[in-house]
Amino acid sequence: MIDIIEQKILNLSEELFDTLLKDRTTQKNICWATECYISHGKSYYPQEPILKDLITGFNTNIIHPRAAKISEDKARRTKDKAEVFTPSWICNEQNNLVDEAWFGRKDVFNISINNTWITNKSLIKFPDNKTWKNYIDSKRLEISCGEAPYLVSRYDTVTGKEIPLEERIGLLDRKLRIVNENTHNEEDWFFWTKRAYESIYGYEYQGDSLLLARENLFYTFIENMEYKFSHKPNEKQLKIIAKIISWNIWQMDGITMTVPFSERSREKKQLSIFENIIENDYLDKEPIPCKIYDWRANKSIEFRNIIKGGKDI
C-alpha cells in the first residue's frame, strides 16, 4: 500500500512542506475540518490548523489514506461527510467519457473491461483540429476530491494497492503521459508538465484528505520525472510544482464556496439613532470566499465569481 509519510516530505525541505500545508486564500495553514483526530488533543480539533509538528516526528503516522483507515473511522466519515471513495475502475470509466468528448472517439487511453482496464500502449493520436498542447491546457476540475483519485491514480482507492505509472488513469496522469510522449528534453518536459499542473483543479473540505491529495500530486510529479529522465527533480522544480498544487488543490466548503472555519468580522455598520442596537454590538461574522489562481492571466480570482459568471479560467 502506498502511504506517504509526511516526515519524508519535511526531510526534503521544510519550505516545501509549509507550501503543501498552506491555504492560499487566508495565507494560513489548512485546517483539520474533521473530528476524527480530536482524541489526540485540542490542537487536532476541526477548526485548528494542521501544523507540521502535529503530523511529523513522533506523530508521523497520524494521517493515512482512506484505504488504510480502520473501519470505524471510515463509517464515521461516511456518515458525517458522505465520504465514499470511488473505485479506480469507475474513475477510469468516467474519465474515459471526458476524453471521448474531447477527442471525438472512444477508448483513447485504455479500454475498460470487467472492472479493470487494458492500457493503449500506442502513441496517442490527436484530431486534425487539435494538438497535444491543446490537451495539456484543457481545464479539469474534481469536485469534493478527497485524495484526488480522478486526478492522479497512484493507488487503488479501495485496496490501497499501487498502480504502475504506465497504467494510471487520472486526468493529470493522462496529461503527463502526453507530455512524456511528446517532449524529448528536460526543459521542454518541465515547461509542459508545469502547464499540465496549472490546468487541473480540485477542492476538498476535510483537511487530512486535502493534504493527501496534494501529496499525491506532488509525488506524481517526482515519479514522472524519474520515469522520464531516471533522476529526481531539483529543489527549484519541486518548489514550483508545490506552489501550483497549493493554489489548485484547495480547501473549500462546496456549498458556500468559502474557507472552512474562516469567519471574520464584517465591516462595522453605522446604525441610525432610530435603531435600538449599539454599533459595538454588531458582531456578525462572514466566512472568507475561496480564491484560486488563473495562471494564464497571472492573477487570483474568487472561485464563486467563476461559477456565477460561468466563465472558464
Asked if 201 contacts 141 with a C-beta cutoff of 8 angstroms, the reply is yes
Asked if 10 contacts 52 with a C-beta cutoff of 8 angstroms, the reply is yes
Angle between helices 171-182 and 88-103 (to 10 degrees): 60
Neighbours of 158 (CB within 10 A): 15
Asked if 152 contacts 217 with a C-beta cutoff of 8 angstroms, the reply is yes
CA gap 94, 257 in Å, rounded:
25
> Which pLDDT value is given to residue 228?
98
How does the average pLDDT of the chain come out, rounded? Answer: 89
185-208 confidence digits (pLDDT tens): 999 999 999 999 999 999 999 999
The three three-digit cell numbers of residue 215, written as one number:
501529496
SS3 assignment, position 73: helix
Q: Which residues pair with 129 in a beta bridge?
A: none
102-150 confidence digits (pLDDT tens): 999 999 999 999 999 999 999 999 999 999 999 999 999 999 999 999 9
> Which pLDDT value is given to residue 285?
81
CA gap 33, 59 in Å, rounded:
18
72-87 confidence digits (pLDDT tens): 554 554 555 555 678 9
Determine phi and psi for 249, rounding to 5 degrees: -115, 100
Q: Which residues pair with 204 in a beta bridge?
A: 251
> Which pLDDT value is given to residue 58?
86
Q: Could you tell me the pTM of the whole model?
A: 0.89
The candidate with the shortest Cα–Cα distance to 29, out of 37, 19, 39, is: 19
Average pLDDT over residues 263-268: 67
